[in-house]
Amino acid sequence: MAEGKLLLEVVTPYRRLVSAEVDEVTAPGFRGEFGALPGHTPYLCQLAIGVLSYRAGSARYFLSIMGGYAEVGPERVTLLTEVAERAEDIVAERARSARRRAEERMAGRAQESVDFERAAAALRRALARLDVARQSGVS
């Protein structure tokens, strides 16, 4: 691996979606967004639903991720997630429909209900997909 680079790996139960040398990584941690650069202090964290972005040279890439775990080290960032999607795999209209359905379900529910929590999670997933599509120019 080249000096001053990180090896980024994004792994789902079905495939290794990304394995690349990158300059920086930004990911949605459960307690907030975090960034990693080469030489970062090692740590583990839980991932939230959101947008993973990484830069390799002058190119920036975006993926939606649906939670999981991250292991960060000085030379490597590994993300284990149930679902990760590249912008080109996202159908923006389907994500917009999912957002509308989730908002409708949430509008009439008490916040402590299980249905409300499921709708809120569906809304976060739809928003992450739409954000990736927008940032990548796919929408």
Which domains are seen in the chain, by residue range?
6-86 (2.60.15.10), 90-135 (1.20.5)
Contact between residue 127 and residue 99 where contact means Cβ atoms under 8 Å apart: yes
Q: State CA 118 to chain mean position distance.
A: 18
Amino acid of residue 119: A
How much is the mean pLDDT over the chain? 91
Which range, of 24-28, 46-50, 67-71, 126-130, averages the lowest pLDDT? 126-130
Contact between residue 64 and residue 51 where contact means Cβ atoms under 8 Å apart: yes
| Residue in 38, 41, 120, 34 with CA at minimum distance from that of residue 79 | 34
Contact between residue 130 and residue 92 where contact means Cβ atoms under 8 Å apart: yes
pLDDT score for 112:
56
Pick the more confident residue, 81 or 107: 81
Contacts of 3 (CB under 8 A, 6+ apart): none
Name the pLDDT band for 114 (thresholds 50, 70, 90).
low
